[in-house]
Amino acid sequence: MHGLESKRVFITGGSSGIGLCTAEALAREGAHVCLFARNKERLEAAAAHIREIAKAKGDVACFALDVADNSQVRTVMARAMVEFGVPDILINCAGRARPKVFVDISYEQFDETMKINLYGARNTIAALAPYMGKNGGHIVNVSSMAGLIGVFGYTDYCASKFGLIGFSEALRSELDGLGIGVSVLCPADTDTPGLAEENLTKPPETIAISESACLLPPEKVAQALIAGIKKKKFLIIPGTDGKVSWLAKRFCPWMVDLIMKRTINKVRAGM
């Protein structure tokens, strides 16, 4: 998939942060962009903003939807395919994190995190994949660096994002024969409204771990995502810091553990 001009792209979580920046970049490339999220007002404002960027070059549409609600996803996606067209590319970006220590994470929070971050991608793919692929489609599931490295304060989030990578790897081998590629995007901390909200509940240990890494601009993450689609890469890790962290975890996991343990112990010693 070289150029993305005239490609039909569905983006869940397209009204904010990484999803919105990706929609902006795709509209600049001449793609037709369809956004999905729950809050209708924010979604329509995002679609109006993307229309400004697309000018007359690309179609823009939006549909309110909760990715965690499977029957709603089936209904809304069926309508979107009739009104907007079958997507060539699906980007599952809807997600959220509410960092807390495990004992403070209720069953309800754990369940909701899995339903949005993992089942959400499952639901959209189940609704769309049977119709994609005639011209070679592509799916990107947005995981996280916390889908590759277990991080203090993210037990529910890591479970969902590690799960999303395993799901994507298995799916890739199944969809390959149908002409649909699959990628996972694993960004480190990215400067978005979602991260600002996430910061509100971070335990001090998690704050200290986050502070030791660089903050990515969402535009850079969107660029890496789009380059990854064009190259049909499976694992897309934006930024040098992220790539180094992943290599360290893969080849020297003891070193990553040691650095995290030291950071956690330093915070606890100062409490």
Based on the residue annotation, tell me whether 168 is a catalytic residue of this protein.
Answer: no
95 versus 239: smaller Cβ distance to ligand NAP: 95
Catalytic pick among 143, 160, 168, 245? 143
Among residues 133 and 188, whose Cβ is nearest to ligand NAP? 188
Question: Which 80-109 residues touch ligand NAP, going by CB under 6 A?
Answer: 93-97
Task: Scan residues 241-270 and list those touching ligand NAP (CB under 6 A).
Answer: none
Is residue 144 a contact point for ligand NAP (CB under 6 A)? yes
Task: State yes or no: residue 29 binds ligand NAP (CB under 6 A).
Answer: no
Active site residue 161: yes
Which residues between 37 and 66 bind ligand NAP (CB under 6 A)? 37-39, 42, 65-66
Contact between 181 and ligand NAP by CB under 6 A: the answer reads: no
3-state secondary structure the chain: CCCCCCCEEEEECCCCHHHHHHHHHHHHCCCEEEEEECCHHHHHHHHHHHHHHHCCCCCEEEEECCCCCHHHHHHHHHHHHHHCCCCCEEEECCCCCCCCCHHHCCHHHHHHHHHHHCHHHHHHHHHHHHHCCCCCEEEEEECCHHHCCCCCCCHHHHHHHHHHHHHHHHHHHHHHHHCEEEEEECCCCECCHHHHHHHCCCCHHHHHHHHCCCCECHHHHHHHHHHHHHHCCCEECCCHHHHHHHHHHHHCHHHHHHHHHHHHHHHHHCC
19 touches ligand NAP by CB under 6 A: yes
Q: Does 236 bind ligand NAP (CB under 6 A)?
A: no
Out of 7, 100, 161, 202, the active site residue is: 161
Residue 74 found at the interface with ligand NAP (CB under 6 A)? no
**What residues make contact with ligand NAP under the rule CB under 6 A?**
12-13, 15-19, 37-39, 42, 65-68, 93-97, 116, 120, 142, 144, 187, 189-190, 192-195
Active site residues: 143, 157, 161
